[in-house]
Structure 1
Amino acid sequence: MNSELSLPLKSLIAFTHPLFMLVALLATGYALYLGVLVRKTRNADAETRKKNIKAKYNQRHFAIGSILLAVWVVGAVAGMASTYTLYHKLFVSSHLIFGLGTICLAAIAVALVPLMQQGKEWARIIHILCTSAVVFCFVTQTITGFQIVQKMVGELYQ
């Protein structure tokens, strides 16, 4: 680990990415919930659909999804930057590979939104598949991320 940096600065650099991503994971769960409500609204009877449309689940899902894409990209770059700052190299590991894959899948899912707005069902299906894979990758990232944080705590406070 970079010995030129002070312990408080190392701690700030080391723990900003994990905390940022933990908040993103919770927001991802909320976006998933809203997406399920949008899907249920689309397939509901007329009365339920009318009630659910007033709740604007689709607009909230779109807004959270847009924010999440930015958070994921910034979080991924910040994670790589903090690793490079602390260790002067990047570690090619499952955490890095799953993280980069998550960003790619999220970009594909967001790119499908205009087609979904045109009513293309195949775009919705691919969007759902991509975002399901994003959630899987994100949970995997959380597990490997906690392992990395435990290792960093040992190195920082030895």
Structure 2
Amino acid sequence: MKKFLLAILVWVSFSSISYAAIEVYDFDSQQQQKQFQELSNTLRCPKCQNNTIADSNAPLAQDLRQKVYQMTKEGQSKQQIVDYMVARYGNFVTYNPPFNWSTAILWVGPGLVLIIGFGLILLRSRKMSKATQVGGWDEDKESKLNELLDKKQKGEEE
């Protein structure tokens, strides 16, 4: 009896795996299927932030996939679907947001950081080279150092 109950318990625990959801979408044409796949791989999940809606298992991503499927089946174009998603979730939902005032920092920011960084490095290196030239080494100091070295070597030889 114990073996029978154990077998049922094992069967129930492994059968729960079969309830894993695999989304299957039926399309009228190959073009609709291609459009759906492209959009699913180019729209970003607003919750996951760095996954596409195809890669994400978040409930919001599932809803977005369903909406993209529904709009694709209705015959809407790729741009109409992207416009709908941008209107609802903002430019963040696309991986390549358009250049405007709200996204300017995304496009210009990395270049500005590089330019400012190299500028600061250049200024600092020039400042350090001037400091070494002004209070730095000259021929008088070189001759004094040579004299001291000569005295030390003569002192060691004797």
Please report the TM-score for the alignment, with normalisation by the length of structure 1.
0.25
Structure number with the bigger relative contact order (C-alpha 8 A, sep ≥ 6) is 1
